[in-house]
Structures are given as structure tokens and as C-alpha cells.
């Protein structure tokens, strides 16, 4: 557990990507199985310990420490794991456990015994190791390591191709001992990869590169506002994956039921009603569910709009140029005629100016923008620079009033960095502010310090870790869309809001009105 704790500590205080890779490589080389496999699972999001919840952890602490003291401490520190690590009473007793001992005990404990097991480990650990334990148990690593970065470190360590490692990754379960044996020079894991997730090809923002690209070298198509998925069907077995490899099939039995073909395709999952693509908010009602009612299937019918063909029947075609894959995809669709499925058509164009005019109208037609794909590019996992670009529509902006602030996590746990903002509307008692969104990005470190100081000096009330502030500070918010929401008092919610500018100069009375935002609510598009 000590080595894992030191790894997390090093990753938190190491901003450089290459330095993080070196830390990960050194840890995986020096740490025995199965500890390194469980560490990898925790960092890559492959470890779930559902019996350990934040509320259970708070209960354990309040059994041992004055609850009022704990709540004040939590409010000051802002991070549950750090607070528990520091306030847990007593000196460490006994030998510290191995990481594998911790994971295996918590996985098998069940809800009734999990609290006692966790408390026992806390009693055996020093504060820094206790911090790692709580982060492990709750899944809140927040150390700046993505699953792909962890896999990149593995590939470098074992001198194996990253693309092949990512193929095998989804066919091997934690703690990945067959995978590590291969990386250490042994045979490749023998796994059935037919229904395994294939690493997706991702796009880079085109930004100001557009004029340096040759229009004749690229195909263009709409960037649809759904979720990217991969659908595989072999020998009568179906699988539907999100872009991160999560199995989302249970939430979309209508799509699985329509997969009576052989192959693997890449596309966009949408809700289409009577031939009309519905707003993303409609699709969102089905995401994350384990089961779906008949009523929801009828109200929000899922649809698969295809972008690419990865396997034509049993044949892997990812190495072919994009134009060849598109031709085969069209033939594949004509031969199989799958229900609930169609093709994302290419957009003919000759100049970037023609395409720019279409992009400017993307919002009115319900798309996120455009995709640019090099005609000769093979399909490779990850985000290589050059083959695919996304050219998104310009964001909307609105000036809103800061009304609540909450402490952040990790490096931001000492700052009020999560902000709820509001717009004006006319109510029975006159003009009132109603929350329309929450953002925690878009500002610099220096701006964060100024905001934190302002919030502390202008707090008017507290609700646990949340502070209500004087409604005086205006934030210019950039966002992608506005959608109806029954979960918010305002009746709307912004999609992907981020802070564009702090309007220290603007009075709150001149902030946006709710009626303006309501006018931007996206409706279904042909």
C-alpha cells in the first residue's frame, strides 16, 4: 500500500505528461502481481468497490471523532479523503496491508461488513497511506492520469505496440496478470476478441489549422449531437460500447435487437422519432440505465447513424483507407439493411469557404458542427494528429450572476472553484435569480485566487460545503446548447458550460434574462 500511496502522491504533484509516464513505468516495473494490476485498474477506472460509499465513510469517522469537528474540518479541507486521512484517530497499529489485500477484502466484504473492513485498514495505515486507501475505495483518484495514459505507460514498459495492447486490454479482466506476463516477455494472452471493444479513432479540434489543409484530401460529414458508440455482432452475439469501452447495451435493447448482422461498426447513437433527430436531452433520459421500460422505448426510440466500418463480417478492414471503408460500409448497409440504422452522409464541397457557410448554420439544423476526415487515413485508436478533425460550431455566450460556490477536489480542494450561476426572471415578488448552470473550468489559476477571495468576503449563507454569495458578480458563460430540464427550477440547463470571462466591470442588474436563454432551447432537427 505504501508504494501505491507514493505513486499517487507523485502523480498529483507532477504536471508533465512525460514525467507521469516515467512514474507509472517505474511503479509497474518494480511492483509485483497482483498489486500492480489492481493499481492499474484503479487508475484506469476498472475497479469498482460499490459497498464503500462516501456516506458510509463519513459515518465511520463520526463514530470516532466529534461529528461537529469533522464537519468543520471537512468544510475547511474540502476533500473527503484528505479530511479522513488527517482526522482519523490513533497511531498506526500492526503491519500495513498490501494493495491486493485491501482490494480483495473490500471486494468480498459486502455492504454489511465493508465499513468494519475499511476501518480496520485505516487503523493500520499512516495518514498518507490512509489518503490513498480512501481514494481507492471511493474511486476518486483525480491524479491527472487517463486510462489511455496508463496503457501508454504499460506499452512503453513492455516495448509492445500500444494499438495491440489496447485490443487485448478489453479482453483481460483486472488484475490483468496475463497482460503483465505478456509485457514481461511471455506469450500474448489468449482471449476471444470478437466482441471486445476496439479502441476508437478520435478527432482533434481544427482551430486555425483549416487553411493549411488541402480540401481535396478530406471528406466532410456532420458532427451529430448524440454519443459515439461501437456496435459489434458476431455469431449471433451483440455488444454496444461507449467511446470509453463501457458496455451500454442494457440501456439500448432496441439497438441490440436490430443487430442481426456480422461485423463491427462505429457511429453515433441518437434518438430519432418519425425520422426526426431529437435533442440530446431526450437521449440523456436513457443513458446510464440498467433496464428500460416499454414506455421509454416508445417515447425515445434509439437509432444508430453509422460513420465507419471496422469489421466487414469477420474481416478486419481498419487498415484500409477511409474512402475504401466508406465504399464497403455502403455495400454492407445495402446487403444487411439493418433496422434503426442509417449512414452519416458525406457533404460535397470544394473550398473551406463553402464548408464554413454550412458550419455556421449547424446550430439551426441541430448538429454540433462538422467532421473532416482524410480520405487515405486508416482507422487507428486514439487521437493521432492529422487524420480526423472536428470543426465545431461557435459556442453561445451569456452573462450570468454567481449565486453559489463549492470547494473543488484534488489541487483545488482549498479553493471555491465550482460555481453555480443564475439568470433573471420576473416572479410574484418581483425580479428574481434562478440557477441555470454550474461550471468549474475556463479560468486561470490567478483568476481562481481572485474568485476564491471574493467568495469568502461575500458569503451570505452556508449549506454544508456550499456557500451562497451576494448576487453581485457577473460571469460570462460559454456553452454549447440549452435544453429543457425538469431537474432545475429554471426549467432549463446549459450543455457543457464553462467560464469565458469574469465581468468585474458589469453590474448584476444587466445580466441575462431567463427568457433569452429559453429562446435558445434546441428543438428536434431533420
* Catalytic residue list: 223
* Cα 97 from Cα 132, distance rounded (Å): 12
* Cα 524 from Cα 330, distance rounded (Å): 26
Number of Cβ within 10 Å of residue 243's Cβ equals: 14
**Closest of 260, 240, 264, 242 to residue 250, by C-alpha:** 240
CA dihedral sign, ordered 109, 110, 112, 116: positive
> Cα-flanking dihedrals φ and ψ of residue 508, to 5°?
-60, -30
* Cα 280 from Cα 520, distance rounded (Å): 14
Torsion angle (degrees, nearest 10) of CA 158, 159, 165, 166? 110
Rg (CA), the chain: 25
Number of Cβ within 10 Å of residue 162's Cβ equals: 18
The H or E element containing residue 152 is helix 147-158
CA dihedral sign, ordered 27, 32, 38, 44: positive
CA angle in degrees (0–180, nearest 5) for 119-121-127: 95
Separation in Å, CA 242 to CA 38, 280, 379: 23, 15, 17
Separation in Å, CA 360 to CA 18, 355, 356, 369: 38, 9, 6, 8
* Cα 230 from Cα 238, distance rounded (Å): 11
* Cα 134 from Cα 121, distance rounded (Å): 10
Bond preceding residue 119 cis, omega within 30 of 0: no
Relative to beta strand 276-277, strand 315-316 is unpaired
* Cα 525 from Cα 486, distance rounded (Å): 21
What is the three-class DSSP state of 304?
strand
- Answer yes or no: are the C-beta atoms of 382 and 447 closer than 8 Å: no
- Answer yes or no: are the C-beta atoms of 245 and 196 closer than 8 Å: no
Cell numbers placing 129: 497511506
Amino acid at each position: 500500500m505504501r508504494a501505491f500511496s507514493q505513486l499517487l502522491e507523485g502523480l498529483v504533484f507532477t504536471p508533465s505528461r512525460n514525467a507521469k509516464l516515467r512514474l507509472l513505468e517505474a511503479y509497474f516495473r518494480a511492483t509485483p502481481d497482483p498489486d500492480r494490476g489492481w493499481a492499474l485498474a484503479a487508475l484506469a477506472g476498472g475497479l469498482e468497490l460499490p459497498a464503500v460509499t462516501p456516506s458510509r465513510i463519513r459515518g465511520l469517522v463520526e463514530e470516532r471523532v466529534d461529528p461537529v469537528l469533522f464537519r468543520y474540518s471537512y468544510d475547511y479541507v474540502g476533500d473527503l479523503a484528505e479530511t479522513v486521512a488527517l482526522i482519523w484517530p490513533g497511531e498506526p497499529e500492526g503491519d500495513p496491508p498490501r494493495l491486493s489485500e485491501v482490494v480483495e477484502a473490500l471486494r468480498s466484504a459486502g455492504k454489511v461488513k465493508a465499513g468494519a473492513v475499511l476501518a480496520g485498514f485505516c487503523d493500520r495505515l499512516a495518514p498518507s497511506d490512509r489518503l490513498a486507501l480512501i481514494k481507492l475505495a471511493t474511486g476518486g483518484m483525480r491524479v491527472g492520469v487517463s486510462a489511455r495514459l496508463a496503457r501508454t505507460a504499460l506499452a512503453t514498459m513492455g516495448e509492445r505496440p500500444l494499438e495491440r495492447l489496447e485490443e487485448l486490454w478489453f479482453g483481460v479482466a483486472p488484475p490483468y496478470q496475463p497482460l503483465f506476463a505478456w509485457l514481461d516477455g511471455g506469450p500474448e494472452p489468449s482471449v476471444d476478441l470478437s466482441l471486445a471493444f476496439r479502441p476508437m479513432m478520435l478527432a482533434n479540434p481544427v482551430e486555425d489549422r483549416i487553411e493549411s489543409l488541402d480540401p481535396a484530401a478530406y471528406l466532410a460529414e456532420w458532427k451529430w449531437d448524440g454519443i459515439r458508440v461501437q456496435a459489434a455482432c458476431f455469431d449471433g452475439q451483440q455488444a454496444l460500447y461507449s467511446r470509453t469501452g463501457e458496455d451500454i447495451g442494457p440501456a439500448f435493447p432496441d439497438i441490440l435487437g436490430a443487430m442481426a448482422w456480422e461485423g463491427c461498426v462505429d457511429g453515433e447513437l441518437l434518438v430519432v422519432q418519425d425520422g426526426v433527430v431529437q435533442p440530446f436531452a431526450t437521449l440523456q433520459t436513457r443513458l446510464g440505465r440498467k433496464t428500460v421500460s416499454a414506455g421509454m422505448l416508445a417515447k425515445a426510440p434509439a437509432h444508430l447513424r453509422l460513420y465507419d466500418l471496422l469489421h466487414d463480417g469477420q474481416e478486419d478492414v481498419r487498415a484500409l483507407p477511409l474512402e475504401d471503408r466508406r465504399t464497403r460500409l455502403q455495400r454492407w448497409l445495402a446487403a444487411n439493411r439493418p433496422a434503426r440504422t442509417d449512414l452519416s452522409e458525406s457533404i460535397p464541397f470544394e473550398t473551406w469557404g463553402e464548408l464554413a457557410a454550412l458550419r455556421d448554420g449547424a446550430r439551426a439544423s441541430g448538429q454540433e458542427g462538422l467532421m473532416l476526415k482524410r480520405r487515405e487515413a486508416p482507422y487507428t485508436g486514439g487521437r493521432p494528429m492529422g487524420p480526423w478533425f472536428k470543426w465545431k460550431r461557435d459556442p453561445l455566450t451569456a452573462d450570468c450572476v454567481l449565486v453559489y460556490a463549492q470547494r473543488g477536489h484534488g489541487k483545488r480542494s482549498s479553493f471555491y472553484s465550482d460555481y453555480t450561476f443564475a439568470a433573471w426572471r420576473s416572479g410574484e415578488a418581483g425580479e428574481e435569480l434562478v440557477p441555470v448552470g454550474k461550471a468549474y473550468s475556463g479560468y486561470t489559476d490567478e483568476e481562481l485566487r481572485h474568485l476564491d477571495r471574493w467568495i469568502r468576503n461575500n458569503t451570505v449563507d452556508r449549506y454544508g460545503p456550499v456557500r451562497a454569495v451576494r448576487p453581485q458578480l457577473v460571469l460570462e458563460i460559454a456553452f454549447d446548447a440549452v435544453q429543457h430540464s425538469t431537474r432545475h427550477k429554471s426549467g432549463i440547463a446549459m450543455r457543457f458550460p464553462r467560464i469565458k470571462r469574469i465581468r468585474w466591470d458589469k453590474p448584476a442588474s444587466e445580466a441575462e434574462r431567463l427568457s433569452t436563454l429559453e429562446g435558445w432551447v434546441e428543438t428536434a432537427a431533420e
